[in-house]
Structure 1
Amino acid sequence: MSNEAKQRRVESTLALAPVVPVVIIDDASRAVGMARALVAGGVPAIEVTLRTPAALDAVRAIAAEVEGAVVGVGTVLTAKDLDAALKAGAQFAVSPGSSPRLLDAADDCELPLLPGAATASEAMALLERGYRFQKFFPAMPAGGPKLVGAWASPLPQIRFCPTGGISLANAPDFLALPNVACVGGSWLTPADKLAAGDVAGIEALAREAAQLKR
């Protein structure tokens, strides 16, 4: 698959809802209930981060059992991570930044990648590699909506998914920008609700997020 074809897949994934939940999961047995709650709430694209040993098992379970879910893998750093994500059934991958080795590996992998950028130079370098869709990370520490909004005029080809410090309160500030496709946030799947298996609470948070305007 060409990189442009993979970019179109990223575009369709980011268009599914205003928010992509960023999930840190410690117990893979909670994954299916969580994902079903997110899908029911109108937030079907789910990023499961590779920050815990349970992450890939969670992705496998979601991919196999949750109808309507578009599950991806986050915190992808290496070619090995990309390969593991693809084998687990992920439909997209997300990285906090980029490196030449990772981008080379992504060229050879069927899994669409959403790479991260925090500066105009990084965004331009990714654009040279064909990445019209990028993660702006860490969004709030790096400069927030003012910074990513300032890129809209000189870099109109790029659309961003800001992630990092995003909440229900500040998400609208990003979503109002012309170069923001959606945002990523961890507030939809808080650790206490995941640990308790509070799927009703997660679905309520998802419904609230799905109503955000963009």
Structure 2
Amino acid sequence: MDDIETIMRTAPVIPVLVLDDPEQAVEIGTALVRGGLSVLEVTLRTRRALDVLAAMTAIDGAIVGAGTVLDDAQLDHALDAGARFIVSPGLTERLARAAAARRACFLPGVANASDIMRGLELGLNRFKFFPAEASGGLKALKALAGPFGDVRFCPTGGITLQSAPDWLAEDTVLCVGGSWLVKPGTSAADVEAAARAAAGLRTNPRSVRPELVEGLPSS
């Protein structure tokens, strides 16, 4: 059975995907996996997001989850479509208890100490720090992490290929969420190249090889 920490440690970057075409999504997802990023977050922000999620679960080697899950009904729909993990922009008791009842791998969003304390009371200690840059960036995360020694994070929101190494160098950060990898109109070849650059952060989080960055979007 999956657990959220194992999923977070699988790759240094989790692509955050906003897609509405299942066929195109499979092509993009396959390119991401080929590039070394096997954990894929399909956000429930489009009309056909659940169809996209279901289609991408067939990609060999992919671990597909649902993002932007706001309530227990969306959680149920996402799990029924094949999601192996659930990501929410925030944390409510009702959603956390629904995730526990379904034994779902759950990564709720937090932005302050009260959010983290609420999560700990609900038995959670792995969180999405969101929106990362707008909530004070790396300086804020370091301050928040201090009182909570067992908590680990996936910062998401405003992070780029260039800023990701600084986040990943922190012991409390297991991975980051990245929306820079797939932009409208990006070809599968470019997606794969972007994934390779992001996957390379695992082995050397403080450097990005220039040849991998050249020509890639920065945000």
What TM-score do the two structures reach when normalised by structure 2?
0.89
Aligned residues: percent identity?
49
- Between the aligned partners of 1:61 and 1:153, the Cα distance in structure 2 is 41
- Between the aligned partners of 1:153 and 1:139, the Cα distance in structure 2 is 17
1:169 alignment partner in structure 2: 162
Q: Which amino acid aligns with 1:33?
A: E
Q: Which runs of 5+ in 2 are unaligned?
A: 206-219
Q: Which fold has the larger relative contact order, with Cα–Cα distance below 8 Å and residues 6 or more apart in sequence?
A: 1
Quote the offset at 1:100 in angstroms: 1.8
Quote the offset at 1:152 in angstroms: 2.8
Alignment of 1:43-82 (within 5 A): 43-63=37-57, 65-82=58-75
Provide Cα deviations, 1:36-60, integer angstroms capped at 9, x if missing partner. 1111100000000000012111111
Q: Give the number of the structure whose residues are more often helix, by fraction.
A: 1
8 A Cα contact 1:133 1:159, kept in partner: yes
- Between the aligned partners of 2:11 and 2:99, the Cα distance in structure 1 is 25
Secondary structure of the equivalent of 1:73? strand
Q: Which runs of 5+ in 1 are unaligned?
A: none
How many matched pairs? 203
Secondary structure of the equivalent of 2:55? helix
Alignment of 1:76-91 (within 5 A): 76-91=69-84
8 A Cα contact 1:76 1:96, kept in partner: yes
Stretches of 4+ aligned residues off by more than 3 angstroms: none
Provide Cα deviations, 1:172-208, integer angstroms capped at 9, x if missing partner. 1211111101000111111221xxxx11110000000
1:12 alignment partner in structure 2: 6
Alignment of 1:54-203 (within 5 A): 54-63=48-57, 65-193=58-186, 198-203=187-192
The answer on 1:39 being equivalent to 2:36 is no
- Between the aligned partners of 1:191 and 1:23, the Cα distance in structure 2 is 11
Q: Which amino acid aligns with 1:29?
A: E
What TM-score do the two structures reach when normalised by structure 1?
0.91
**Cα RMSD, aligned residues only:** 1.2
Provide Cα deviations, 1:65-121, integer angstroms capped at 9, x if missing partner. 201000000000111111011111110000000112111211211321100000011
- Between the aligned partners of 2:149 and 2:61, the Cα distance in structure 1 is 31
Quote the offset at 1:161 in angstroms: 0.2
